[in-house]
Amino acid sequence: MNARWLRIGGTLMLGMFVSYIDRTNLSVSLPSVAHDLGFSGATFATVSGWVLTAFLIGYIFANIFGGVFTSRLDPKTVAVLMMGLWSVSTLITGMAQSVMLLVICRLVLGVAEGIYWPQQSRFVKLWFSPNELTRANSVIQYYGQFLALGLGFIILTPIHAALGWRNLFYLCGAIGLFIMVPLYAKTLLSTADAPYPEKPKDAAAAKPPKLTLASFGGVSFVLVIFAYLTQGMLFWGITLWIPMAVKSIGFSGMGQAFGSALPYLAAVALAIPMAYISDKTGKRILIAALGLLIPGVLLLLLPAVDNGYLKLALITVAMGYYASSFTPNIWSIIQSNVRPHAIGAASGIVNGIGAGGGGTLAGLMVARVYASTGSYMSGFMILGGLVVLGGLSLLLYGLIRRNYPLGIQTIKA
């Protein structure tokens, strides 16, 4: 195996695994945290909504500004520092004696992981050729993310049951600080060694190009942001609440853990055939758009199903198909249509607004709907309708890119 797939792809995949464990450990331990910190009663849904989405609020601005302001820094330096920062915040979370400190720690986690996220796209663009982008994104972002979600609920649930929520956070933070930070520092390579530099080596001393709307591919870039906003609502609206949602339809204990993990394990299983189809056909935009449209329709069917197993099956197929079709392709689409010097900034803007903003809105919306109706499924159905609009937006983007390869430049920013 080429060394860069192991040193860059393998290391960052492991880092993404740890980052998602640190994001979702609160969803597993939330009932215990609520009991100890005093919001397990009538205010559970409201306070939990803010506690869970605090991470995403920090994530919004850190992705956007982190991607822009770190574009001149070596991604290795930024990745190592941010991994250290979010690991410390995870350790301190275990010490929290108040909701306020819990929220602050989750905000810091969101800021650190938000600045970290765009660096992954920079690594992909620096170290992998254009015809390797989908596979590289799958290894680094996709498998790390969805293996963490697929295995994380299964791993974290018994650890939480055995050790309690505080020790769970201590363990997660220690893994990042004492294992992953040294691994990143030793294994990741710097920009100077990359085979696909962000700018020509003979222009190293030249002033970096300015970031403009044209750098992102023109006005049509807004359609990508909207599509990603709806997928951010789908992903986080379900992921933040899935342990509680699975419990609400009749699962408990390890059944709840496996039920929560099932949608993400399905995503991992479907990733290989979907990546093959994507690379074989080159229809990345169409495949990504269907990755929103089909799951959206499936979630709209939730109210028509009464059986808990069937509800879980709909959620599993929807999330598995969405994640395997949309997630690996969207970053390849962005990396192929955005100019090299703008990759980090574009990734930060899309992920900040989409995952951070969309996730915050969806997390609070599902909490509000649950508080009003006592049902998580009603909130999930609303997410289905929104993600259909996102799929249509991406289809329109593909039409524009086909007819105007350089984007619509007649409309000025």
Are 178 and 53 in contact, with CB atoms under 8 Å apart? Answer: no
Is 158 within a domain? Answer: yes
Burial class (CB in 10 A: 0-12, 13-18, 19+), 31: middle
- Kindly report which listed range (126-135, 145-154, 379-388) carries the lowest average pLDDT score: 126-135
Are 22 and 106 in contact, with CB atoms under 8 Å apart? Answer: no
More confidently predicted of 210 and 84: 84
Is 248 within a domain? Answer: yes
CATH code at position 56:
1.20.1250.20
Residues ≥6 apart with Cβ < 8 Å to 104: none
Residue linked to tokens 């093959």:
276
Is 199 within a domain? Answer: no
CA distance 96 to 36: 10
SS (H, E, C) 230-269: HHHHHHHHHHCCHHHHHHHCCCCHHHHHHHHHHHHHHHHH
Is 145 within a domain? Answer: yes
Extract the tokens encoding 174.
């220690």
Does the pLDDT value for residue 205 go beyond 80?
no
CA distance 137 to 332: 7
3-class secondary-structure state, position 61: helix
Is 205 within a domain? Answer: no
What domain count does the chain have?
1
Which structural domain, as residue segments, surrounds residue 35? 3-189+212-403
Q: What is the pLDDT of residues 53-96, one digit of tens each?
A: 999 998 888 887 777 778 788 999 999 999 999 999 999 999 99
Is 53 within a domain? Answer: yes
Is 412 within a domain? Answer: no
In this structure, what is the dihedral angle of CA atoms 14, 264, 335, 231, given to the nearest 10 degrees? -140
Does the pLDDT value for residue 410 go beyond 50?
no
Is 204 within a domain? Answer: no
Instruction: Tell me the mean pLDDT in the region 384-393.
Output: 97
CA distance 125 to 132: 10
